[in-house]
Amino acid sequence: MTTAPMSSYGPVTNAGVVTSYLPLNTAWPFSAGCSTQILSDDVPGYSAPSYLYFNDPRYPSVVPQQPTCLPPQISSWWYQTTQVSITTLLGGYTFLCPEAYSTVYSSVGTTTGSVTTTIGCCPTAYSYVSLQSVGTPVQCLSTVVPQDLTFAAAVSANLYTVTSASITATAIIPGVQVNGYIFPTPATTSSTTSTPSTSSNPAGNTSSPSITLSNTGSSGLSTGAKAGIGVGAAGVVIALVALGAAALLLRRKRRAANAAPVNHPEYHEVKREPVEVGRPPMHEMDAPGYNHELRGASNYTHPAAELVS
């Protein structure tokens, strides 16, 4: 049996129960011959009446040279071993019914603060009754008129053969449902990139941005006179600054020579222990607030298409 891929969503732990999700990201293609895959649940040696089921995931594994009409995820989901602490559901961030199925149920609910969509699928042309849990094939039903019907039946525990039987009265044949969940895609954090401002200068102008000075009045001087005065004033200022700096250095030098030596305290390195920053507490995510009780095929109590020996 092909191993079913795991969904990118989950697993989710809630109240000690670990729930894994199997994805149905694409609609499984329909193949010729899928409309006749009917399997009997009759087991030799048991006195319980036998019933027929359409699209049982086991069919291509027990009858050779038959098309695979359902993805391996559905087989793993339908025939999972019932456990108290582990369960498997269908779904993830996307969920698509197989091509041979139709969406018959859709419900949007809030789970742990996020929106969760429940999807129910039935084989096309089958009547939808009500949403059922895995292993209980009474969600999708089809009426069969009296006829000779071909199906796969067990000869022993691990050996099946294709046979036929007469249905003498109108009967009901259940079809295996496909149900799952769609969870919201996690919000992606968009990074903000700072873009430098674009200058309005022409492309060929590589000069630095200009600084605009406000002119509060006219001095009556020409541009050349203003430039000459500016340069002369700048030279005077620089000379005065240089003289002041030299005088200050000489004064400090004399004070340092006459002052008594000062004993500074020794430098001691202060060691700090690293402070551990605790992580925020982890919170478990609740599974969808729906009934996910796992029921085996033995819980099926709705008679359908009983075969006449």
Task: Give the pLDDT of residue 213.
Answer: 29
Collapsed DSSP state (helix, strand, coil) of residue 115: strand
Domain extent listing, the chain = 12-185+288-299
pLDDT at 5: 66
Distance CA 120, CA 281 (A): 36
Q: Report the alpha-carbon distance of residue 83 to residue 85 in Å, rounded.
A: 6
pLDDT of residue 46: 65
pLDDT in the model for residue 303: 44
Predicted pLDDT of residue 305: 52
Show the low-confidence residues of the chain (pLDDT under 50). 189-243, 245-251, 253-287, 289-303, 308-309
Q: What is the pLDDT of residue 219?
A: 41
Q: How far apart are CA 292 and CA 77, in angstroms?
A: 12
Q: How far apart are CA 98 and CA 71, in angstroms?
A: 8
What distance in Å separates the CA atoms of residue 300 and residue 307, rounded to the nearest whole number?
A: 16
| The model's pTM | 0.58
| Cα(146)–Cα(69) distance, integer angstroms | 26
In this prediction, residue 41 carries a pLDDT of 82
Output the pLDDT for position 30: 92
pLDDT tens, position by position, 210-246 = 323 233 333 444 444 333 334 344 443 444 444 454 4
Classify residue 91 as exposed, middle or buried by CB count within 10 Å of its CB (0-12, 13-18, 19+). buried
Q: What is the pLDDT of residue 82?
A: 83
